[in-house]
Structure 1
Amino acid sequence: MTGTASRRLDELSGTAVTERLTEDSIIVLPTGAIEHHGPHLPLSTDALLAGALAGAAVDRAADAGLDIWILPTLTYTKSDEHHWAPGTVWLNWDTLMATLVDIGRSIAATPARTLVFMNGHGGNGALLQVANRELHRRFGLKTFTMPAGIQRAGAGGDAGADEAGLGIHAGHGETSLVLHVRPDLVDMARAERNVPEHIGAMEFIGFNNKPVSFGWLSNDFGASGVIGDPTAATAEAGAALFEESVARSVDALLEISRFTFEAPPSGPTP
């Protein structure tokens, strides 16, 4: 992170946690994955991006006045859609759920009352939504899940190769982000397009806000495991997407800091 004062919770002593955190403190937990990302991206892509994006957002949110702290990225998560690919390291849903509950229990032992999952792996999304309620019910925490970065399929032209609304894994956006953050880990000579065009033509079934979801494994769409088109990815596009993602995350964190279940009292404006 770039700020002058570290916001890493794990760098505090246990005594400092009790002295410096309050019920207004926000704790951010990035969630990533170790999983196959085609032949051109590293296994650590989701963990790498979740940590980088969340770290930048926390640093900037602290500069904006929030009492906000970040934990080390939760790296091993629910990646069974890539179970077929060597190198993927994944947890069963019940193992991950138990882990999230234990983490929530531990955070509830600090003065902080707010936990935010900043998620960099789509396969975690549904389970994190369940965890939000579970941790709120069990431990009284205010819990939130938000994406660590913006997921956007390439639309052709200046937006990169046309991904027919299906660029969700190792495609243009994700590859561009890694080119920005860690270009040494990307092998663009091995980048290849793999877009299931027939699904992109469907009205209801698909990804990226289509109303009907479906069960899938990444090799359902081809042996590469790619779902998208990384061939036109650039570090410049990644830098723009990184900045857009961080700015949106900071706005979301500021709103989280103001969130309350009870409406504020109404009255005449002074």
Structure 2
Amino acid sequence: MTSFADLTSPQVADVLAGPRKPVLLLPVGAVEPHGPHAPLGTDEIISAGMCARAAARLADDPDVRVLVLPTLNYGVTEFGAAFPGAVSVSASTLHALIVDVCRSLAAQGFSRLVVVNNHFEPAHVETLRKATAEAGVAYLDLVRRRNAARLTAEFQSGACHAGQYETSLVLADRPALVDTATMATLPPRPVDMPAAMAEGRADFLAMGMDRAYCGAPAAATDAEGRSTFDTLTDLLVEAIREVAS
């Protein structure tokens, strides 16, 4: 059993008293448009998928007990505001929630925690960096160069919102949620999102993403998704090992 919320209160006490160091994972995502083919919850699906795979990989580890917290599905999501389905919270709300959750757990003895995020809107990422630093917990920052260098070429290009990278991951984890017929009709859209942001473009429409995607979703495959999940899980297991050491 790897889900924290599935445990009873006495079972949580047993985890704290047990010989293995407990490490909790907090998956974070957002509710925002991911093209006409991928679900609004793409980011949280990827974060939760990473956490589940890391917990499974370490299920029999003699030193570490990994438990996955309920996913935080809401984030700072302003770039997709022009499209139906985007749900945003303020940076202050996200900051307070992360800090409060982490401090509540730490007060019980769960001091080892890794926040796992796959929604990369700059205000969201910056909020998570500040909140995790304030709470004294780890943050697996996938956009840091050393981590991004281990991911796919599309991810590194910056044209990866609902493109080949993200769509492949959803195909590997929740394939029924991808409209593959629509996906196959979408032409590549090579938008360098970091460069566009640096130019002051503050939403998908201003970036030329009139269908809320960039990259090459038609090239997505579940095989690529499985391979990328392997790499993401490697990164997360390394973060867990660091927190537990």
Q: 1:39 — aligned with what? A: 36
TM-superposed deviation, 1:256 = 2.2
SS of alignment partner, residue 88 of structure 1: coil
User: 2:239 & 2:103 partners in 1: Cα distance?
Assistant: 24
**What secondary structure does 1:117 align onto?**
strand
The residue number in structure 1 matching 2:227 is: 240
1:17 counterpart (5, 12, 19)? 12
1:216 aligns with 2:206: no
Give TM-score scaled by structure 1 length.
0.76
Helix, strand or coil at the partner of 1:67: strand
The 3-state SS of whatever aligns with 1:82 is coil
Runs of 4+ in 1 over 3 A off after TM superposition: 147-155, 212-215
Gaps of 5+ in 1: 1-5, 137-142, 156-162, 259-270
Tell me: higher relative CO, structure 1 or 2? Use CA pairs within 8 A at least 6 residues apart: 2
Q: 1:117 aligns with which of 96, 115, 118?
A: 115
Unaligned runs of 5+ in 2: none
**Secondary structure of the structure 2 residue equivalent to 1:40:** coil
- The whole-number CA distance in structure 2 between the counterparts of 1:168 and 1:106 is 35
1:206 alignment counterpart = 195
Q: Secondary structure at the match of 1:75?
A: coil
C-alpha distance in 1 between matches for 2:107 and 2:82: 39
CA-based RMSD of the aligned residues comes to 2.7
Deviations 1:71-117 (A, max 9, x none): 01111111122122111111111111111122123212322111210
Q: Say whether 1:102 aligns with 2:96.
A: no
Spell out, residue by residue over 1:49-82, the C-alpha distance to the aligned partner (whole angstroms, 9 max, x if none).
1111111112212333312211011111111221
Cα distance in 2, alignment partners of residues 245 and 56 from structure 1:
9
The count of residues paired between Structure 1 and Structure 2 equals: 231
Distance 2:47 2:38 in 1: 15
Of Structure 1 and Structure 2, the greater helix share is in: 2
Aligned partners of 1:30 and 1:51 also within 8 Å? yes
Deviation at 1:153, TM superposition (A): 5.1
Q: Which residue of 1 aligns with 2:170?
A: 178
Alignment check: 8 A CA contact 2:159 2:215 kept = yes
CA contact 1:153–1:167 (8 Å) conserved in 2:
no
Following superposition, the deviation at residue 245 of structure 1 comes to 1.7
Is the 8 Å Cα contact of residues 153 and 168 (structure 1) preserved in structure 2? no
Larger radius of gyration: 1
